[in-house]
Chain A
Amino acid sequence: EIVLIQSPEFQSVTPKEKVTITCRASQSIGSSLHWYQQKPNQSPKLLIKYASQSMSGVPSRFSGSGSGTDFTLTINSLEGEDAATYYCHQSYSLPITFGQGTRLEIK
């Protein structure tokens, strides 16, 4: 199965800071990479599909990029409500797999 490694696993950031989370796949997955936000005691929410396509209603400060094996989720001008764990997910091959998560703490 395809392994996804996210970095960093934890980051403490201040409001208005720019955050970059990376997700590296163990083999090429084209653009079949999606990003989710999970706030405490909530289910994951889809933010970005196919590496760079933002879902309706997602704030414009969230953006995704990448293809092949290396992907990035960028949050511009971080806000307090962005405190959450972020997961990448590949749907290129079965079983679908997830990264281990990146927890963002807002200082």
Chain B
Amino acid sequence: QVQLQESGPGLVKPSETLSLTCTVSGGSITTYFWNWIRQPPGKGLELIGYISDSWSPNYNPSLEGRVTISVDTSKNQLSLTLNSVTAADTAIYYCARARTGRNWLDPWGQGTLVTVSS
């Protein structure tokens, strides 16, 4: 059974870069699409972007220009980088698997809270 686990700093200063990793266990990171989704505290869900099984990224236009998603197949890890963060980027960040870029999301990681604050 595939499991996803997000990790990274829980606190990032404004204007700096947020970097997170999602480790995939119980299965290969190849063949699927891998998504990053975030959820501000007490609010709804927002797609950040995904990377395809051919390692082509696709980003939400609302974040394009600040975000990079990549994969390290040797480590079975997915990475997220978000530049120039502000308090509005404070959220729980989830990684989730999909069969294609337009498909249901399952499974999800447990999520990691990132707070942007000085």
Q: Which of A34, A43, A45 contacts B111, CB < 8 Å? A: A43
Known pairs A93-B102, A94-B58; A44 contacts B108 (CB<8 A): yes
Interface residue ranges, B against A (CB under 8 Å): 44-47, 58, 60-62, 94, 98, 101-111
A96 → B minimal CB distance (Å): 5
B102 near A32 with CB under 8 A, answer yes
Contacts A1-B61, A89-B104, A98-B44 known; list 15 others, CB within 8 Å.
A43-B110, A44-B108, A46-B105, A46-B106, A89-B45, A91-B102, A91-B104, A92-B102, A93-B102, A94-B58, A94-B102, A95-B61, A99-B44, A100-B44, A101-B44
Counting CB contacts under 8 A, is A87 at the interface? Answer: yes
Interface of B is mostly: loop
Q: Which residues of A contact B111 (CB under 8 A)?
A: 43
How many A residues touch B, CB cutoff 8 Å? 25
Scan A82-106; emit 1 where CB is below 8 A from any B CB, else 0: 0000010101111111111100000
Within 8 Å by CB of B108, from A32, A43, A96, lies A43
B residues in contact with A97, CB < 8 Å: 47
Q: Considering the chains assembled together, what is the distance between the CA atoms of A67 and B58 in angstroms?
A: 27
Residues of A within 8 A of B102 (CB): 32, 91-94, 96
